[in-house]
């Protein structure tokens, strides 16, 4: 098989996830433009290789066995700010842009609406794909439209926000893997520099105080069941500090599993199974994973 120029072989995925866990990708490609991303997808299709679109790797548990296909990492990261209307401002961002850079760009332009996202790692594409949420806000509040490559039709399309089916950590993109996000348009409002700055600081301080940021993790492992905090249920089961291999249920926030030292995916999985079993036994609640599994 003739490989697309730029494709690398046997790349350790643990270097591309915030958990620092994961085996090797058989093939790995860093797309620096939309055209390169589409080219890599077409290559995978013609070579009959499965492919996986990787953003910042901050919501993933990658198998210890790695991935027997092509991982395409989104590196395109152009962002621009337009003054479209007097009271609504538009930010256009390519999928590989860091969400944190967007928060900074908005603040620099005195735009409000994204402060809550300060401190969330990952890319804009990952954030839209997951409808990332925090402090009662989510991407659904700011996304105007999303440009995608529809693999099933080999066509670039524009999806308006109302057709993205945004729900609590749910979107059309999670359900339809043929929709690959290329860029998106966010709609923000003019705000006051000082207030925006204070809000950002408030959210960053909260994370610093309450989240185990000193260890690699993938953020919260489980979604919150309706009206309850998954972290509280786990804590009430007395599971904080439980370990498996190099992984531990965080002492600081029970909905985080941290990689203390060389944890493997199987260690994290055994803690996930323990949590699900104990929470079901004690509260009759079935926790559902927020993190996504990325298996061979
Ligand atoms: C310390 C920490 C704190 C966190 N806090 C929060 C929080 O407050 N709220 C929250 O919701 N999440 C939080 N997260 C989880 C995570 O940061 C988000 O889910 C993030 O948006 C994932 O983006 P990513 O680029 O890393 O995506 P990845 O983890 O790389 O991928 C996630 C999914 O998106 C898909 N994807 C990525 N890019 C594209 C694309 N271009 N087209 C189609 N599919 C794509 C991938 O295939 C995968 O299925 C946190 C994580 C950490 C480590």
pLDDT at 295: 82
The CA distance from 296 to 24, in Å, is 10
Q: Could you tell me the domains of the chain? A: 8-74 (3.30.43.10), 79-210 (3.30.465.10), 230-294 (3.90.78.10)
- CA separation for the pair 23, 202 (Å, rounded): 37
CA of 2 to the centre of ligand 1 (A): 32
The CA 240 to ligand 1 mean position distance, Å, reads 24
pLDDT at residue number 3: 87
**The pLDDT value given to residue 85:** 59
Q: Is the shortest distance between the CB of 127 and ligand 1 below 6 Å?
A: yes
- What is the pLDDT, as a whole number, of residue 110? 92
pLDDT for 184 = 97
The answer to whether the CB of 224 is under 6 A from ligand 1 is no
pTM for this model (two decimals): 0.96
pLDDT averaged per 10 residues, the chain (length 296):
92 98 98 98 96 98 97 96 73 97 94 97 98 97 98 98 97 97 96 96 98 98 95 98 98 98 97 98 97 88
Q: What atom of ligand 1 comes closest to residue 74's alpha carbon?
A: 41
Name the closest-CA residue to atom 49, ligand 1. 292
Q: Is 129 in the pocket of ligand 1 (CB under 6 A)?
A: yes
Centre of ligand 1 from the C-alpha of residue 122, in Å: 5
Q: Return the structure tokens found at 25.
A: 């990708």
Mutational pocket test of ligand 1: of 55, 118, 136, 295, the residue with most ligand atoms within 8 Å of the beta carbon? 55
Residue of the CA atom closest to atom 50 of ligand 1: 219
Establish whether residue 126 lines the binding site of ligand 1, counting it when its CB lies within 6 angstroms of any ligand atom: yes
Q: Which of 21, 58, 60, 98 to mutate to test the pocket of ligand 1 (most atoms within 8 A of CB)?
A: 58
């Amino acid at each position: 098989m003739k490989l697309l120029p730029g494709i690398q072989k046997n790349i350790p995925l643990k270097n591309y996830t915030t958990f620092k866990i994961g085996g090797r990708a058989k093939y790995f490609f860093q797309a620096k433009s939309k055209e390169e991303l589409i080219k890599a997808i077409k290559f995978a299709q013609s070579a009959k290789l499965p492919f996986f679109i990787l953003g910042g790797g901050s919501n993933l548990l990658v198998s210890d066995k790695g991935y027997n296909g092509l991982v395409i990492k989104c590196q395109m990261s152009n962002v621009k700010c337009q003054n479209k209307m007097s009271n609504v401002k538009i930010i256009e961002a390519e999928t590989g842009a860091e969400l944190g850079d967007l928060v900074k760009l908005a603040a620099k332009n005195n735009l409000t609406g994204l402060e809550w996202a300060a401190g969330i790692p990952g890319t804009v594409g990952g954030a839209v794909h997951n409808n990332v949420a925090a402090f009662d806000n989510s991407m659904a509040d700011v996304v105007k439209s999303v440009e995608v490559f529809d693999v099933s039709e080999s066509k670039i399309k524009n999806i308006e926000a109302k057709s993205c089916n945004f729900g609590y950590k749910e979107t059309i993109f999670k359900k339809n893997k043929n929709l690959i996000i290329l860029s998106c348009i966010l709609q923000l409002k003019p705000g006051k520099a000082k207030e925006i700055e204070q809000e950002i600081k408030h959210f960053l301080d909260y994370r610093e105080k309450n989240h185990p940021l000193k260890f690699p993790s993938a953020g919260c492992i489980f979604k919150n069941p309706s009206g309850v905090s998954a972290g509280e249920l786990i804590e009430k089961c007395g599971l904080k500090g439980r370990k498996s291999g190099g992984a531990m249920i965080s002492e600081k926030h029970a909905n985080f599993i941290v990689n203390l030292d060389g944890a493997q995916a199987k260690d994290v999985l055994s803690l996930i199974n323990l949590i699900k079993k104990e929470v079901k036994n004690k509260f009759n609640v079935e926790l559902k994973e927020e993190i996504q599994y990325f298996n061979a």
